[in-house]
Structure 1
Amino acid sequence: MSLYAFIGALETGLVFALVALGSYLTFRVLDFPDLTIEGSFPLGGAVAAKLMVM
């Protein structure tokens, strides 16, 4: 694995770690089952992909 691929994988992992942390906070700490993060993250990715293609 090259250094460039390793850094890319590390960046992706850190982004997904933030998503997991947000989901953990809503379910365990706040004791409120809010599923907004599961819908807003893919929606943001779809909007970003569409804007990149334009």
Structure 2
Amino acid sequence: MLVLSIGFSILVAATIATTFSAFLYDFENSRMLLTVNYGVSTIGYLFVIYSVTGGD
């Protein structure tokens, strides 16, 4: 359950990081915004998948 909660926390952090980087780059560099969003989201989903599969 700890790994699952970490995964969902990282997914929420992805939206916060995307919003932060949008203001940082004045909403002009959309490629960077997508990279931040997809990169952090992928890490969060990896934690969620690991918690479901139970990689013991």
TM-score by length of 1: 0.44
Larger radius of gyration: 1
